[in-house]
Amino acid sequence: MRALDGKVAIITGASSGIGYAAAKLFAQEGARLVLGARSKDRLEALVAEITGANGSATAIAGDVRDEDYAIELVETALGRFGGLDVGFNNAGIIGEMVDVQHMTAEAWQDTLDTNLTGAFFGAKHQIPAMIDRGAGSVIFTSSFVGHAIGFAGMASYSASKAGLVGMTKSLAVEHGRNGIRVNSLLPGGTATPMVGDFSNDPSAGDAIAEFHALKRMAQPREIAQAALFLASEAASFVTGSAMVADGGNSVTKI
Ligand code: NAD
């Protein structure tokens, strides 16, 4: 028996990085997947890869800032796979990195709309489908930024990611009685396109690695493994948590 046999999961931000690794891992573990992100081409390539390896997945490109997109993802899970068990609300952006006195209201709002309101839309429409099922797992990708560490120029990102932890606690209490678990996952620095490859400035990569106890960044699959735990029955008594998978950056002072 695999960890997600018989389960149906939505993963947003599946075209890249952590979401991409989670899609492949969840499929290997038996989940039937509805994948979301902005790039149709990348999603279609991922669906082909998963189905080519005997997995089951479909994809819809869209924008998590649009509530109708959240509805469409859930309706696809219900129509195509007959229900929904897991919502991995993972899509996110860093947003414009500037000191607060230079941050426009539009840039602030865009980061909040994508990272926080997008996840709210996801949960809002996933949870009723899970209530029908009598169980479910909602996961938000938060961050070590805004939790363990503050970075200059990242006020909007930090606020959005800390907001997810607050929303997690409310929703866990609101829907525990329905058998639904709600958790935030807080990755440490992870080698994805969001962070870049540091080819122009290897010392910047070294500096990020240094503030982790493990003295390296995570690979996306390592974060996907933590998401798999939260999605699966292995985490059957875990709810309302802000679970770190941060390579020890929250306990490191350099
Ligand atoms: P990434 O840039 O590789 O992937 C981001 C994904 O989100 C892409 O699939 C993109 O299409 C999607 N996305 C962004 N805006 C969207 C929108 N408006 N509508 C739909 N999809 C949208 O980045 P990643 O590092 O894999 O990030 C995944 C999550 O992990 C993000 O929420 C990020 O904040 C969080 N995170 C990343 C790190 C890190 O170091 N990489 C650390 C902590 C948390």
**Looking at domain 8-251, does it have CATH number 3.40.50.720?**
yes
Tens-place pLDDT, residues 90-146: 999 999 999 999 999 999 999 999 999 999 999 999 999 999 999 999 999 999 999
Mutate to test the pocket of ligand 1, among 34, 110, 192 (most ligand atoms within 8 A of CB): 192
Q: Measuring from each residue's beta carbon to the nearest atom of ligand 1, which residues come in under 6 Å?
A: 12-19, 37-39, 63-65, 90-93, 114, 141, 143, 187, 189-190, 192-195
**Is pLDDT at 196 greater than 90 in this prediction?**
no
Mutate to test the pocket of ligand 1, among 194, 198, 222 (most ligand atoms within 8 A of CB): 194
Tens-place pLDDT, residues 33-68: 999 999 999 999 999 999 999 999 999 999 999 999
Q: Which of 26, 140, 157, 211 is labelled catalytic? A: 157
Q: Are 14 and 59 in contact (CB under 8 A)?
A: yes
| Separation between Cα atoms, residue 151 and residue 161, nearest integer Å | 13
Closest atom of ligand 1 to 15 CA is 9
198 confidence band (pLDDT: 50, 70, 90): confident
% of the chain exceeding 70 in pLDDT: 100
| Separation between Cα atoms, residue 186 and residue 241, nearest integer Å | 10
In this structure, the chain runs to a length of: 254
Query: What is the pLDDT, as a whole number, of residue 129?
Result: 98
Residue 57 CA to ligand 1 center (angstroms) comes to 20
Query: What is the pLDDT, as a whole number, of residue 134?
Result: 98
H runs (alpha helix) in 53-140: 67-81, 105-112, 118-133
| Separation between Cα atoms, residue 8 and residue 218, nearest integer Å | 26
Cβ burial of 25 (10 Å; 0-12, 13-18, 19+) is buried
Select from 182, 171, 163, 173 the least CA-distant residue to 239: 182
197 confidence band (pLDDT: 50, 70, 90): confident
Closest atom of ligand 1 to 65 CA is 18
The mean per-residue pLDDT over the stretch 170-190 comes to 98
Nearest CA to ligand 1 atom 39: 190
Residue 220 CA to ligand 1 center (angstroms) comes to 11
Residue 177 CA to ligand 1 center (angstroms) comes to 31
Query: What is the pLDDT, as a whole number, of residue 199?
Result: 77
Query: What is the pLDDT, as a whole number, of residue 204?
Result: 85
Query: What is the pLDDT, as a whole number, of residue 254?
Result: 77
Q: Running DSSP on this structure, what letter comes out for residue 115?
A: I
Query: What is the pLDDT, as a whole number, of residue 203?
Result: 87
Tokens of 205: 């990569």
Residue 1 CA to ligand 1 center (angstroms) comes to 30
User: What is the number of other CB atoms lying within 10 angstroms of the CB of residue 191?
Assistant: 19
Query: What is the pLDDT, as a whole number, of residue 202?
Result: 83
User: How many angstroms from the chain centroid is the CA of residue 153?
Assistant: 22
Closest atom of ligand 1 to 14 CA is 9
User: What is the number of other CB atoms lying within 10 angstroms of the CB of residue 87?
Assistant: 32
Q: Is 157 a catalytic residue?
A: yes
Query: What is the pLDDT, as a whole number, of residue 95?
Result: 97
247 confidence band (pLDDT: 50, 70, 90): very high
Nearest CA to ligand 1 atom 13: 91
Tokens of 222: 């390592």
| Separation between Cα atoms, residue 2 and residue 76, nearest integer Å | 23
Mean pLDDT in the chain? 97
Q: Are 59 and 43 in contact (CB under 8 A)?
A: yes
| Separation between Cα atoms, residue 212 and residue 229, nearest integer Å | 22
Q: Are 101 and 155 in contact (CB under 8 A)?
A: no
Tokens of 243: 């679970």
Nearest CA to ligand 1 atom 33: 92
